[in-house]
Amino acid sequence: MSEAQLVSVDPAIEEPTPAQLDAEYTEHTKTYNGFLHLTKWFLIHVPLLLLGLYAMTLGGSMAGGVVLMVIAVAALIYGILSTPASAH
């Protein structure tokens, strides 16, 4: 980053040091990775849940629908519990 990008318009705000910028970047990266992890498991959960609801209501297979819904909920719980601790 060039020095011009680090200058604040407000003189009361101090310029961040390179160490502060590195720490901030690291935290943003951890947050983004956690977000991607949860998004992946949510996108696995939703189609399974919708298929389970379809099977139970219009498909005529109550047992198949229940199995799909249990798998969908289990996938979401696994995704939440397996989120890296650094992403919290």
* Alpha-carbon dihedral angle through residues 67, 72, 77, 83, given to the nearest 10 degrees: 140
Name the residue range of residue 56's domain.
47-88
> What pLDDT score does 57 carry?
93
Residue 68, domain member (yes or no): yes
Structural domain count, the chain: 1
Residue 25, domain member (yes or no): no
pLDDT in tens, 48-73: 999 999 999 999 999 999 999 999 99
Residue 64, domain member (yes or no): yes
CB contact at 8 A, 85 and 47: no
Separation between Cα atoms, residue 61 and residue 67, nearest integer Å: 10
List strand residue ranges (DSSP E) for the chain, in order. Answer: none
